[in-house]
């Protein structure tokens, strides 16, 4: 009987110490999930640019709290052996066939309720310096590189996650933003 009471006492002490931590971590779950999904969307955009040899744009719409991934169609390459008249004829016929064969590839992700773009910094553009919400974009070139950038997501409890795109390599990282 005494052993059972001691075991119950130990279990209750452990639960009392861990319960607040579990509750706190479950409250930030939507923000963490949204940050990881945004990081995955950026990685997808980069890998598609490398795999397809096309430029991919990741567009951030701060007014509607959504992310759009858009493939930029490549123009047809000119044939250097053709004369100017042949090239014009080729360009006209290619424009028709390429526009029909190239589908516009768009993927969209809407942030969950309560999650917002706190700040977006791309090159020398900072969303905090803009008066209203806007549209920002990070482009990934076929070699995987980009202009780089930083996106900070926050929730209504002022917790924040930072998604960073390396300016040279295009590598995407996601981390909880430290309080400053």
Say if 9 falls within a structural domain.
Answer: no
Interatomic CA distance for residues 169 and 53, integer angstroms: 16
**Pair of tokens at residue 41:** 């969307």
Say if 16 falls within a structural domain.
Answer: no
Say if 152 falls within a structural domain.
Answer: yes
The enclosing domain of 121 has a CATH number of: 3.55.40.10
Say if 6 falls within a structural domain.
Answer: no
Q: Is 52 helix (H, G, I), strand (E, B) or coil?
A: helix
Percent of the chain with pLDDT over 90: 33
Could you tell me how far CA 135 lies from the centroid of its own chain? 13
Helix H or strand E segment including 49 = helix 29-52
Helix H or strand E segment including 89 = helix 84-101
pLDDT in tens, 108-147: 999 998 899 998 988 778 777 766 668 899 999 999 889 8
Q: Is residue 81 pLDDT above 80, yes or no? A: no
Say if 4 falls within a structural domain.
Answer: no
Q: Which domain holds residue 59?
A: 28-176
CA-based radius of gyration for the chain: 24
pLDDT in tens, 12-60: 888 888 877 666 555 678 899 999 999 999 999 999 999 999 999 999 9
Place of tokens 């209203």: 132
Interatomic CA distance for residues 126 and 117, integer angstroms: 12
Domain count, the chain: 1
Say if 2 falls within a structural domain.
Answer: no
**Pair of tokens at residue 62:** 């701060």
Q: Is residue 165 pLDDT above 90, yes or no? A: yes
Contact 95, 78 (CB under 8 A): no
Say if 12 falls within a structural domain.
Answer: no
Q: Is 173 helix (H, G, I), strand (E, B) or coil?
A: strand
Say if 139 falls within a structural domain.
Answer: yes
């Amino acid at each position: 009987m005494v052993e059972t009471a001691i075991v119950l006492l130990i279990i209750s002490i452990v639960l009392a110490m861990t319960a607040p931590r579990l509750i706190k971590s479950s409250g930030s779950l939507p923000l963490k999930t949204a940050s990881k999904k945004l990081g995955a969307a950026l990685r997808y955009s980069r890998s598609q640019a490398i795999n397809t040899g096309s430029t991919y744009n990741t567009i951030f719409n701060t007014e509607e709290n959504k992310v759009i991934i858009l493939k930029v169609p490549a123009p047809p390459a000119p044939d250097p052996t053709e004369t100017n008249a042949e090239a014009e004829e080729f360009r006209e016929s290619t424009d028709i066939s390429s526009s029909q064969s190239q589908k516009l590839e768009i993927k969209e992700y809407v942030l969950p309720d309560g999650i917002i773009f706190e700040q977006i910094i791309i090159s020398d553009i900072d969303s905090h310096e803009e008066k209203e919400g806007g549209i920002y974009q990070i482009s990934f070139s076929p070699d995987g590189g980009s202009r780089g950038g930083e996106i900070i997501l926050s929730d209504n409890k002022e917790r924040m996650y930072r998604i960073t795109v390396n300016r040279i390599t295009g590598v995407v990282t996601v981390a909880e933003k430290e309080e400053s």
